[in-house]
Amino acid sequence: MLAAVSTAPPPSSSQATPAPRDRGDACPGTLRLHAADDGALARVRVPGGVLTTGQAHALADVARRLGDGELHLTSRGNVQLRGLPDACGGELAGLLDAAGLLPSPEHERVRNVVASPLSGLDGRGTREVRPWLTALDAALCASAASRGLSGRFLFALDDGRGDVASLGADVTVRATADDGALISLGSARESLRVAGDDAPRVALLAAEVFLEFARHGGERVWRIDELGSRAAELAPAVRRRLTESGIGCVRARQDTTVTGGPPPGVIGSALCVHAPLGRLTASQWRELAEVAPGELRLTPWRGIVVPAPDMTASERDAALSRLAATGLVTDPSSPWPGVGACIGRPGCGKSHADVRADAARTLAAASGSRLPLYWSGCERRCGHPRGDRVDVIATAEGGYRLTGGDGDGPPRTTDLDDVSRLATALAAITS
């Protein structure tokens, strides 16, 4: 099995450009690598962010044997391996396949599913989403049509708390208290209410109807919101398809209550840690896999949830201390969860700066910001989160430009020539 290497810029999974494209979907995977400045890059899809500890160890081995030894978490709870040799495709695919991380090579780039990471662990939410996740992933891999989805098309399975429902997925399934589910398509305000047990089937069916729409328009559209005015016709078409398939549904208002990802610490029966800038060293990853009784759940907020239902409170505290000793963030007051960055220099040739180093150097200033910060090496802002934030964008002149606001008015902008003055610049645009 050979992997192709693309030299096009690596598309960010979080970017939803509202215009059709005239070139192919270059989203990297494990069989289609991206040629970055620090070597080839592979993106390993991890539906729901769920890895067994055996799979976690296997990924660490792959990173050490073939890559730069580190693992990078994406804004969809996937894993990127960097610094790979161009010719490693066959070996990489074989190692991932042996670990059960490549169940269907034809679908490897379309298994983009985020799921509430604390589902079933903290008493919140109205439904345990794991059965949905298992069913949707199996249905995706069994569908010939779904191979046509873009590597950017995203499913979200929300247990009702409103965490992954806020991530702008193409198909969002949200549990309701009456054992049902609300299905939302892109950013449309209306939802469809279906029986909870039908939800995975409905999610796949909605994606397949979207593919028919996308093909019919004769344009390359990869995400539902890129359908433009035709997006309004999608929900009625999905309703018709459900009726033809004998699946009951009614129109419903969307539940707009949202919440963020889990903060670091012990929550319910889980340990929650944050990986600064989504980067984990091999030793951090190994410690996580050794502390975890059975599985890890990678979060779309660059964190890791370790389910530990059978640990005592003191065992959880001790395990969290072990993880803190590796440099993972376990303190809920840490500013790190509010700071993100693209890969920047030296990994990306488009970058004007080593944004990760600058983000780390100015962490104390970031801790005083009311809004999250996202550092980017250029205007593309790969991997930026949704929602209110301050974008800190490197410029060709050697400085940064800050843009942001809290949504109450137009975004403000200010220039920053010296990163040691970040606190002053932040105050200028967020006060």
- 5, 86 contact by CB (below 8 A): yes
- 345, 354 contact by CB (below 8 A): yes
Q: Which of 32, 34, 380, 389 binds ligand SF4 (CB under 6 A)?
A: 380
Please give the radius of gyration of the chain, using alpha carbons only, rounded to the nearest integer. Answer: 21
Contact call for residue 152 and ligand SF4 (CB under 6 A): no
Instruction: Give how far the C-alpha of residue 362 lies from the chain's centroid of Cα atoms, to the nearest Å.
Output: 25
Rounded to 10 degrees, what is the CA torsion of 45, 46, 47, 53?
160
Among the listed ranges 224-232, 298-306, 317-325, 337-345, the one in contact with ligand SF4 (CB under 6 A) is 337-345
Among the listed ranges 149-157, 256-264, 316-324, 346-354, the one in contact with ligand SF4 (CB under 6 A) is 346-354
CB of 12 to ligand SF4, least distance (A): 7
Least Cα distance to 10 among 42, 40, 34, 44 occurs for: 34
Distance CA 313, CA 318 (A): 9
Contact call for residue 234 and ligand SF4 (CB under 6 A): no
CB of 343 to ligand SF4, least distance (A): 5
Contact call for residue 343 and ligand SF4 (CB under 6 A): yes
CB of 237 to ligand SF4, least distance (A): 35
Which residue's CB is nearer to ligand SF4, number 37 or number 317? 37
Using omega within 30 degrees of 0 as the cis cutoff, is the peptide bond preceding 264 cis?
A: no
Which residue's CB is nearer to ligand SF4, number 143 or number 351? 351
- 61, 100 contact by CB (below 8 A): no
Per the listing, tokens 């509202």 go with 18
Which residue's CB is nearer to ligand SF4, number 297 or number 380? 380
Rounded to 10 degrees, what is the CA torsion of 244, 187, 130, 25?
90
Q: Which of 93, 140, 342, 373 binds ligand SF4 (CB under 6 A)?
A: 342
Contact call for residue 381 and ligand SF4 (CB under 6 A): yes
Hey, what are 56's tokens?
Answer: 């976690």
Contact call for residue 373 and ligand SF4 (CB under 6 A): no
Q: Which of 377, 385, 400, 404 binds ligand SF4 (CB under 6 A)?
A: 377
Count of residues that interact with ligand SF4, criterion CB under 6 A: 13
Least Cα distance to 124 among 157, 156, 155, 158 occurs for: 158
Contact call for residue 9 and ligand SF4 (CB under 6 A): yes
- 405, 388 contact by CB (below 8 A): yes
- 415, 360 contact by CB (below 8 A): no
Which residue's CB is nearer to ligand SF4, number 55 or number 376? 376
Among the listed ranges 25-33, 112-120, 132-140, 345-353, the one in contact with ligand SF4 (CB under 6 A) is 345-353
When CB distances to ligand SF4 are compared, the closest residue is: 377
- 331, 265 contact by CB (below 8 A): yes
Contact call for residue 72 and ligand SF4 (CB under 6 A): no
Q: Which of residues 111-150 bind ligand SF4 (CB under 6 A)?
A: none
Q: Is 97 helix (H, G, I), strand (E, B) or coil?
A: helix
Binding site for ligand SF4 (CB under 6 A): 9, 342-344, 348, 350-351, 376-378, 380-382
